[in-house]
Structure 1
């Protein structure tokens, strides 16, 4: 299964819902998803990992690239739906220093207000 995405907006929040695998083949899809999210001129981007089955080390590197792009654009980015395992991975790789990890969609919606 490859990576798929959909983009939704709630006010100034663009939500990228990801599903499938984030591995070496996901780079183009992640870039397309991020570019599509920018169409709504969001103030914040939320990556929803709820339906992501697997992220390998190359996938982590792709996420780092996406976060670098967002940071260069001064666009706050947050992660939703990470399993405890991937929350831990984000912490030990220090990704959590550059992306806010939220626990529920409600938290993300409240922050967008």
Structure 2
């Protein structure tokens, strides 16, 4: 896949920082993801929701970037949750055991309500 410019806007809802991830998460998204996490952390949100609703491609490097964000969040005392994963990427998160380290919700609304992850 070609390197592309990406954006990951951060919004705040109900005390949660919501990061709208770019369509392509690979090496080209490293700076974007790190800046988005820094923005969310700087706002003081204790929970950061990674919204995968726009994600069309997630490479192994992209998975490593998510792992890096999880590690930073743990060190910072923050919780990472996820929403909007396609069935394919949800399965990858389960196989790689990423699902053991973050609650995964069907959509943003369910994530913001908390409760039982899917």
Which of the five TM-score ranges fits, normalised by the shorter chain?
A: over 0.9
Matched, 1:40 2:27: no
Aligned counterpart in structure 2 of residue 109 of structure 1, from 93, 97, 112: 112
TM-score by length of 2: 0.89
**For this pair of structures, how many residues does the alignment match?**
112
Segments of 5+ residues of structure 1 without an aligned counterpart are none
Matched, 1:56 2:59: yes
Deviation at 1:105, TM superposition (A): 1.8
Identify the structure with bigger relative contact order (alpha carbons < 8 Å, sequence gap 6+): 1
Q: Which has the higher strand share?
A: 1
Q: Aligned partners of 1:4 and 1:55: how far apart in 2?
A: 15
Deviation at 1:10, TM superposition (A): 1.1
C-alpha RMSD of matched pairs (Å): 1.4
Matched, 1:82 2:85: yes
Matched, 1:92 2:68: no
